[in-house]
Amino acid sequence: MQKLLTPYDRLTAWLASRLPEGLALLVTRAALAGIFWRSGRTKVEEGSALSISENAYFLFEYEYTGLPISPDIAVPMATYAEHLFPILLAAGLFTRFAALSLLIMTLVIQIFVYPEAWWTTHILWVAMAAILVSRGGGMLSLDALLASRRAK
């Protein structure tokens, strides 16, 4: 029985090592960043970098009516957040902060905008963000590079 467990033990030890974890965190960062980046791009004028569209204001005023703040504040906040934090996540820079910010944003969306979307969508976003908040960006991130330079 002991010999049957050794290959399994070696495999699980390797899967728990820095490289597989770093790859998993990289994929998680890319997945979460992609969700919010695409959402942010729907709020800007086509062909522009960050020129917020009138359609975004309309959407926040007439569809996202449960938000406790004015569309004049919510639209720019959401648009800029959905651009900045995905860039930070993709680079693995300030990963925990960016993931926590997107986690809070997800909870706001869940509570005030789409409360029926927990099991279909938001639980996955929360899970990805929570992993990144707790584990950081991993070895394949700018956070890891900066940490190694600070250690020298």
Query: For 71-117, what is each residue's pLDDT tens digit?
Result: 999 999 999 999 999 999 999 999 999 999 999 999 999 999 999 99
**And the tokens for 18?**
């820095």
Residue 52, strand partner residues? 44
Q: What is the mean pLDDT of the chain?
A: 95
Burial of 15 (0-12, 13-18, 19+ CB in 10 A): exposed
pLDDT at 2 over 60: no
**And the tokens for 101?**
């910010």
Q: How far is residue 18 from each of residues 2, 15, 21, 138, 139, measured CA to CA in Å?
A: 26, 8, 5, 8, 7
pLDDT at 40 over 90: yes
Predicted local confidence at residue 4, as pLDDT: 65
Query: pTM above the 0.85 mark?
Result: yes
- C-alpha 38/C-alpha 21 separation (Å) is 26
Q: What is the mean pLDDT of residues 30-42?
A: 98
User: What are the φ/ψ torsions at residue 139 (nearest 5 degrees)?
Assistant: -70, -20
**And the tokens for 123?**
């639980």
For residue 143, give the nearest of 71, 92, 85 by alpha carbon.
92
Predicted local confidence at residue 77, as pLDDT: 97
Predicted local confidence at residue 7, as pLDDT: 86
Q: Are 143 and 136 in contact (CB under 8 A)?
A: yes
